[in-house]
Amino acid sequence: MTGGGRVDGGRATGTGPVHGTWEPAPAHRWEDAFLSGNGRHGALVFGDPDDERVVVTHHTLVRPVPLADTQPPRLAARLPGLQDRLLGGELDAAERFTDGRGLRWVGSFHPGFQVRVRREGQAAGPRGFRREVDFATGVAAAVRAGRASRVFVSRADDVIVQYVTGAPLTAAVSLDPRLPGAPEGLALGRGAALHRRGALLTLRARHPDPVPGGEVGFTGVTLVLAAGGRTAIGRIGLRVSDAEALLLLTRVRRHLGEAPVEDEAASLRGLVPEGASPAEAYARLLERHEALHRGAYERVTLDLGGDASERALPGSELLARAGSPALVERLFAAGRYHLLSASGMLPPRLTGLWTGDWNTAWAGAFTTDANLGLQTASAAAAALPEVSEALAALVYGQWADWRDNARAIFGARGVVAPAHTDGVSGHTYHFQRSYPLHLWTAGADWLLHALVEHAETTGAADPRLAPALAEVALFYEDFLTRTGPDGRIVIVPSYSPENRPVGGSWGAIDATMDIAAARHALTTAAAHSPVDAGRLRALADRLPAYRVNADGALAEWAWPGLEDRYDHRHLSHLYPVWPLGEINPYDTPELARAAHRALELRGAENDSAHGHLHHGLVAARLRDGERAAGALGRVLCGDFFHTSLMSAHYPGRDVYNADAAHTLPALLIEMLVQSTPGRLVLLPALPAAYPRGALRGVRTRFGAEVDLDWGGGAAGATVRPSRTVRVELRTPDGRPRMLELMAGEERALTFSVR
């Protein structure tokens, strides 16, 4: 491991947090395998030098869905009738607003195969064992009695690199498709060939699911380079005898028809200079990868003053110390590492970029009504533009499908994002009576809001953003046609994921999230389009006001008679608090109090990790540090993390899921630093559990980098702006003041912490 708190021989060296984790035993479950990834390929590394297994994944490995099944329902002609019935008091009318199809899941994300290196004989000498993953390099390594294995996924060369040492090395090397849940009808073919520049292993798979236009399959190719010894074709792969070391380079491709295996083999050989040894080739590949990965990972760090002895513990032992600052430090570091590693051609899925089982929960897809927004919430502030760019790839890559959704379901121009997508199709086709996801219209605003934050933070103008915002506004111009007795617009049908009101049904009227999304979309588009600004702002001004219910809480539905069902994992109605910031303690204190009351009344329902951390994010925005820390504590105490430090959806490590792992850094940053284009808030929600610490490298939405230190009742910050701006400064010690920042001029701030 690297960093100021590197673990060496069971002792923490240096004074900083550990930037990695380790275990004293191999992983026996794929959920505990250490992870590496480059945003395209992923690797789950079990870490046994005697029998190393590396499960290969790729963002494109999705079971095919017939094209006819992926079309959005054509309901636009029936929409006026539905609106009439809902407004006329038939509050369950939306339950029949479908095209009669049954629930159709999106294509399921699945693993490819495992690369297996099984050594002959037992390791000689002491049986000391250690496996670790270095977050700064992405290398997962394991050592036992002189035998070692190192694995990383190159961000520079898009290849899984595996280096095995410990002479004499005699082993069987194979590509093994036998993974849990693999469909019986999966057609397989394996091949092995010898070449003067390395032996080649291939695995061809063809899905049993029929689709028009050709058979869908995937092909894995591994180049095997041995230093010395002999390499021969074995029964199911290769047999290497008496070698000094092995270098394995692996890629997998999803494709229609046949894959060009020879082209892939030539590409892999091209990564190894003629005459280079496996050791030299490995060093070169690692250097190229590390140049991209390390800089991204190290941009932001968190130090909570963790105890040195706790920092030295293996992850499995540290997880048992839920109140330890060292645990929070390591989970913050692991969350940034996993989020970066899962983001590239696409953002992270429900499982990040990894799975060892074909039966992936909720299809291992992208759920946009909460999970994806939560997982990517730290991208701008935590200086991970790679994540924002991956999100942009998903959004703009599906834009045409989003237009189809708007036309087919609502008869409108513009776009509507699906609540659930496999990354292949952006059509809305996953819905049912109790989850009428096809009625949800707020998704495009949430996803584009993250891209607006990215643009504000980096100062980089993506030419696609302003036209995209205009199209979201265009949808609302066509859709918002109904008015109530007061002359204000009525949003009908309206859906608050994934809840329903007391006295109503899932498809309802004037959900608070929909009101907030429509208002935000229209005003944001107006800010980017001066020509249309007046018209768009006028429409936004006619949207319903938020409602405060009889309990003094911000209501989930503004329509009278639709009462709150509090015990639910989603907090959709608090969307104007987080992430939008429209409701906040500074500009809208009364609504902020109502939002806080809504948070107090909200139950945890089934203890989903994303619900707890979403609760914490809203609490942090409302300056309630103890409530935010309590939400984090429920995750830390609930046995949500595997020894890989990847998380689960439910307590007791039930259902592999990246929500908690990827969202945790966002919550910690929100507790310590918040920003808008015109405001900087320092230590807005600092809990008593973290009396001292340091956060380095956080980015703000007005284009500055912030370092923050606190402890002993005092705090200091260094602000490094890239743009000349004037912002309001909020600190815990008193009234706000204006801060004049000049581009390129560092500014030091001091304040007290009450």
CA 6 vs CA 284, 297, 299, 328, 472: distances in Å: 24, 16, 18, 16, 48
The pLDDT of residue 126 is above 50: no
Q: Which residues pair with 435 in a beta bridge?
A: 432
Distance CA 494, CA 508 (A): 5
Q: Please confirm whether the linkage preceding 493 is cis (ω < 30° from 0).
A: yes
| Residue 14 in this model has a pLDDT that exceeds 90 | no
Please spell the DSSP secondary structure of 38-85, one letter per residue: -SSEEEEE---TTEEEEEEEETT-B----GGGGSPP--GGGHHHHHHH
Name the pTM for this structure.
0.96
Mean pLDDT, range 657-671, rounded to an integer: 98
Distances (CA, A) of 272 to 154, 194, 226, 239, 283: 14, 16, 12, 21, 11
In angstroms, the CA 734 to CA 161 distance is 54
Among 359, 319, 333, smallest CA distance to 661 is for 333
Alpha carbon distance 102, 73 (integer Å) = 12
Number of continuous H segments (helices) and E segments (strands) in the chain: 17, 29
Residues near 275 by Cβ (< 8 Å), separated by ≥ 6? none
Contact status, residue 740 vs residue 726, Cβ threshold 8 Å: yes
Report how far residue 78's alpha carbon sits from residue 92's, in angstroms, rounded to the nearest whole number: 15
Residue 76 phi, psi (nearest 5): -60, -40
Q: Which single residue is written with the structure tokens 């707890």?
A: 612
What mean pLDDT do residues 547-571 have?
Answer: 97
User: Within 13 Å of residue 277, how many CA atoms lie on the same side as its CB?
Assistant: 10
Q: What is the mean pLDDT of the chain?
A: 95
Q: Which residue has the higher pLDDT, 12 or 260?
A: 260
Residue 1 has pLDDT above 60, yes or no: no
Residue 127 pLDDT > 70, yes or no?
no
Rounded-to-integer distance, Cα 612 and Cα 624, Å: 14
At 235 the pLDDT is 86
Residue in 35, 683, 133 with CA at minimum distance from that of residue 353: 35
As a whole number of angstroms, the distance between CA 172 and CA 670 comes to 50
Segment 416-439 shows an average pLDDT of 96
Summarize the confidence of residues 104-128 as an average pLDDT: 85
List, in sequence order, every residue forming a beta bridge with 498; answer none if it has no partner. none
Average pLDDT over residues 393-408: 98
d(CA 276, CA 15): 39
The tokens describing 502, both together, are 């007391």
pLDDT value at residue 123? 61
Residues 6+ apart with CB under 8 A from 129: 24, 25, 26, 142, 143, 144
| pLDDT at site 6 | 34
Mean pLDDT of 163-172: 96
Distance of alpha carbon 296 from alpha carbon 289, whole angstroms: 11
Find the mean pLDDT for residues 475-494.
96
Decide if 38 contacts 155 (C-beta within 8 A).
Answer: yes
Q: Name the pLDDT band for 122 (thresholds 50, 70, 90).
A: low
Task: Write down how long the chain is.
Answer: 754
In angstroms, how far is CA 675 from the centroid of its own chain?
A: 21
Sequence-ordered list of residues with C-beta below 8 angstroms from that of 375, at least 6 positions apart, any chain: 339, 347, 348, 658, 659, 662, 663
The domain 30-62+110-294 having CATH identifier 2.70.98.50: the answer here is yes
Distance, in Å, from the CA atom of 207 to the CA atom of 219, rounded to the nearest integer, reads 11
Residue-wise pLDDT for 139-162, tens only, equals 999 999 899 999 999 999 999 999
| 86-106+318-673 fold | Glycosyltransferase (1.50.10)
Give yes or no for residue 68 having a pLDDT over 90: no
- State the pairing for strand pair 160-176/147-153: antiparallel
Mean pLDDT along residues 547-574? 97
Cα 738 to Cα 659: distance, rounded to the nearest angstrom:
37
CA angle, 219 then 222 then 225, to 5°: 165
Nearest to 174 by CA among 222, 231, 246: 222
| HEC sequence for 186-243 | CEEEEEEECCCCCEEEEEEEECCCCCCCCCEEEEEEEEEEEECCEEEECCCCEEEEEE
Cβ pair 129, 150 in contact under 8 A: no
Phi, psi at 70, each rounded to 5°: -105, 10
DSSP state of 532: T
Q: How many CA atoms lie within 13 A of 591 on its CB side?
A: 18
Structure tokens at 100: 């009669």
Element (H, E) at 594: helix 589-601
At 100, which helix (H) or strand (E)? none
Q: How many CA atoms lie within 13 A of 580 on its CB side?
A: 24
Highest mean pLDDT among 28-42, 123-137, 181-195: 28-42
Q: DSSP string of 473-497?
A: HHHHHHH---B-TTS-B---SB--T
Q: pLDDT confidence of 15, banded at 50, 70, 90?
A: low
**Average pLDDT of 7-29?**
74
pLDDT, mean of residues 549-577: 97
Sequence spans of domains, the chain = 30-62+110-294, 86-106+318-673, 693-752
Q: One fold for both 30-62+110-294 and 86-106+318-673?
A: no
